[in-house]
Structure 1
Amino acid sequence: MTDVIATICSPPMLRLELVNTGTELCLGDTINTNAAWIGQRMAALGIEVARQTIVPDGGAVREAIEEAAARADVVLVSGGLGPTNDDVTRESTAELLGLSMVQDATVTAHLEAYFTKRNKPVSAATLRQAMVPVGASVLENAFGTAPGLYFPAELGASRGWHSHIFLLPGPPREIKPMVENCVEPRIRALTPDGASRQVIYLKLTGIGESDIVEKAEKELQAVPGLELGYCIGKGDVDVRLAGQAGPVATGAQIVRDRLGEFILSEDRRVLEEVIIHTLTESGEWLATAESCTGGYLASRLTDVSGASKVFGHGFVTYANEAKEKHLGVPADLLQLHGAVSEPVARAMAEGCLQVSGANHALSITGIAGPTGGTEEKPAGTVFIGLASLGQETVVRRFFYPISRDRFKLLTSQAAMDMLRRRMKGLPI
């Protein structure tokens, strides 16, 4: 989801490496979202991932673990704990550390209960997952069958290693709670200030990272003990502040003072979540009228649970005839100014407001490109309108000469930010 674009922080307290196993990751059939998520979680602890390694299923994981454990203080291995023949992460780690394996009664009971609930027998292949290397600790998997395993550093002392090794399942719904509940507490215990460490993510929108740097970075860098980082998201930028409570609070206040109007959340909520939450609190309704984005704005809004309480109408009026029929846009207005114009965006928003009976209506009309542009209105041009009951309709022109998918993302983000600003009483 995010790309780290800048990091200003002290050297990591621990060297941590990720080993990801899965042929589907190597082939590109599956995107490795686990690595991005773990990187963010570790950054919150003040630890930068020093290296990521991806290997296919099977024996390649043994060499990858061996190399990582010889370098790192902590190794997190994901995948290869299942019941199939190419799931060999558990066995490979045991062999590297010279550990025998025994069947764990607690894991066996978990597997039996798991499959009994589903009216299935526990197969011999499934019971492989109950084999635990002697000296390793079992990490409970509340959302799957394969438990995680923790190997404390002393188990590798005979090889000259000082690495704490964690074996984790691959599915995101299984690995995430295990990292939060089992891995992070152990890592905090390994770091001098891990228990008292804090991290705040201030999510900003409507402003680029370079402007953030210009407006606030020097002052933030001057705060002793404050670690600062930036991450680009989906049309927004996270400002990450980490360290002890005092420096983090000071840094957060600097961002609020310098960039407050651009802050959309301090709890990592994205813009559509903030919009739905704000509308719910105020008891207001929103409607949308989209042309070039083809329903993308409505899709983002309805991705949020509870959207049905505040979002009742989403029009996709791609053709001029649809704008006339469903939104009441006058034909002569379309002919005189063209569909991509300030007057048409205004008429779309006001027509949408009237037809839907909502409190607010957003309209979008533009040229997604790469074809269809003119010298006056090049591809990437878009007009966004916002009409609200009892308030003046506002139309803004934007220019996003980029790929169609990115165009839709940034356009929908700009539209929602216009509404966010109106609801917060900020200039649009």
Structure 2
Amino acid sequence: MRVEVINTGSELLLGQVINTNVSHLGQKLLSLGLKIERQTAVPDGGIIKTILAEAIKRSDIIIITGGLGPTPDDISKEMTAELLALELEEDVQILEKIRKRIESNGSKMRNINSKQAMIPSGAVALTNNNGTAPGIYLKQSISGRKFHIFLLPGPPRELNEMFTDSVEPILKKIIIHNDGSLIECKNLFFSGLGESELASRIDDVLDLNDPQVEYGYCIKPGGIIFRCIGENSAVLDAEKRVTESLKDYYLGDGINSIQEFIVKTLLLMRETVSVAESCTGGLISSLITDVPGASGVFNIGHITYSNAFKNRVLDVPNSLLQAHGAVSREVVISMAEGSLMKSHSNHAIAVTGIAGPSGGCPNKPVGTVFIGLASKGEETLVLKKIFETDRISFKEKVSMCALSLLRQRLCSLS
């Protein structure tokens, strides 16, 4: 079934609002075996009618977001009714619900609000528990061609719940009566290979011209997602061949970042991690704790930016700092092992480096970083890297490199 999304609102095209609705809709539809074939963003006004007229000629399901509010520029419903020659009728129950909601907030119901209770004849009103604008579902037929239209409110808080509670059940019924096959989607996360290298290796395994499957790549923190969408058996066959061929780099289906893989793996292993950061200033800790469930594996983040606190918090000997400097192999080992000992974690990451733009010297230029990983019962690992970039990018690259080092160790131990 062909699915099309029309996002309305001049604010989207003026850059005043980021369009997060299409992302949410894409994910929810994919979970049902449907894929958005086309997405259009249009300003407020009569162009909505023009775009909808084009959409109903080619798509089976059309989802329109926005334009259901009380102001004069909210005309998605009016344009739809006009195109389909449907009368707008006032729904007394919806009008009263709108009145109660507005007055419960201490505001006064105004005439302008009543337009939200106008529903196209034959339409099904979709309940909005988070706002005054009901959604609308229309099942229509033109010249024997059937199609379905959903009009949903623009605010994500309203749209998201309405989609789950009202739209999904309708879509499931549509799918049951649909003769066409549903699609399968696999998002395979790989880490440790660059995009070009991964693509070259996959090209050796798969026929990328297979019309049954659509392939694509998406760079994510610490890795790359290889996406397969298409006919069920063809997608599953592609998944099997790719993951077997690249098993040393494969982290899983549905994984979106290397830190997500780390948290999930540590939870399965019932192990913990701590972090000792200097040049990244807490970014590694932040990335790990962004993942739901991190509280079960993350013990503590030591941000020891100065030499004094490397010594005071992590017991890095002053003699090491004086002899080798803070940015050195010896110091990063001491930081990692100090964090491991003090936190009683199973693993401890440590980083120390020169983010720039100043502070470098001939043997330690700006961008130099030492990354350490200490684990109980294992040899402490150290990497030396030089990232010649700006401060923000430096921190990001160091963080990903440190997490990748931990990933490799976890894979070798699990």
- TM-score bracket for the superposition, by shorter chain length: 0.7 to 0.9
Alpha-carbon distance in structure 2 between the residues aligned to 1:209 and 1:119: 52
Give how far 1:357 is off.
Answer: 1.7
The residue identity in structure 2 corresponding to 1:66 is T
Deviations 1:171-213 (A, max 9, x none): 3343345456626547857976343x21111122232221111
Equivalent residues of 1:76, 1:166 under 8 A apart: yes
1:192-341 aligned within 5 A: 193-195=180-182, 197-221=183-207, 225-341=212-328
Paired residue total: 405
- How far did 1:261 drift? 2.5
Tell me which amino acid in the other structure corresponds to 1:202: L
* Contact 1:39 1:49 (C-alpha < 8 Å) held by counterparts: no
1:169 corresponds to 2:153: yes
Aligned counterparts of 2:360 and 2:173: Cα–Cα separation in 1: 57
Alignment of 1:338-349 (within 5 A): 338-349=325-336
Residues 1:162 and 1:66: Cα distance change in structure 2 (over 3 Å): farther
Matching residue's letter, 1:89: S
Shift of 1:315: 0.9
Q: Please state if 1:69 is matched with 2:53.
A: yes
Quote the Cα distance in structure 2 between the aligned partners of 1:144 and 1:206.
46
The TM-score normalised by the length of structure 2 is 0.83
> Which sits farther off after the overlay, 92-101 or 182-191?
182-191
**In 2, Cα distance between equivalents of 1:401 and 1:172:** 40
Contact 1:69 1:75 in 2 (8 A): no
SS of the residue 1:32 aligns to = coil
d(CA) in 2 for partners of 1:329, 1:289: 11
Q: Check the 8 A contact 1:221/1:228 in 2, yes or no.
A: no
- Gap runs ≥5 in structure 1: 1-12
Within 5 A, what are the aligned runs for 1:3-402?
A: 14=2, 16-23=4-11, 25-39=12-26, 47=35, 49-55=37-43, 60-71=44-55, 72-73=58-59, 74-104=61-91, 107=94, 123-124=109-110, 128-141=115-128, 143-154=130-141, 157=142, 164-179=148-163, 182=167, 185=172, 188=175, 193-195=180-182, 197-221=183-207, 225-402=212-389
SS at match of 2:206: helix
Q: Report the 3-state secondary structure (helix = DSSP H, G, I; strand = E; otherwise coil) of the residue aligned with 2:312.
A: helix
CA distance in 1, matches of 2:47, 2:153: 19
Aligned alpha-carbon RMSD (Å): 3.5
Deviation at 1:394, TM superposition (A): 0.7
Q: Pick closer, same or farther for the CA change 1:169–1:237 going to 2, 3 Å.
A: farther
Inter-partner Cα distance in structure 2 for 1:113 and 1:269: 43
Provide the C-alpha distance between the structure 2 equivalents of 1:321 and 1:168, rounded to a whole number of angstroms.
57
- 1:364–1:383 CA contact under 8 A, matched in 2: yes
Is the contact made by 1:216 and 1:254 (CA closer than 8 Å) also made in structure 2? no
Determine which structure has more spread, i.e. the larger CA radius of gyration: 2
1:9 matched to which residue of 2?
A: none
- TM-score when normalising by structure 1: 0.80
**1:54: how far off?**
4.3
Superposition deviation, residue 40 in structure 1: 5.4
Amino acid at match of 2:197: D
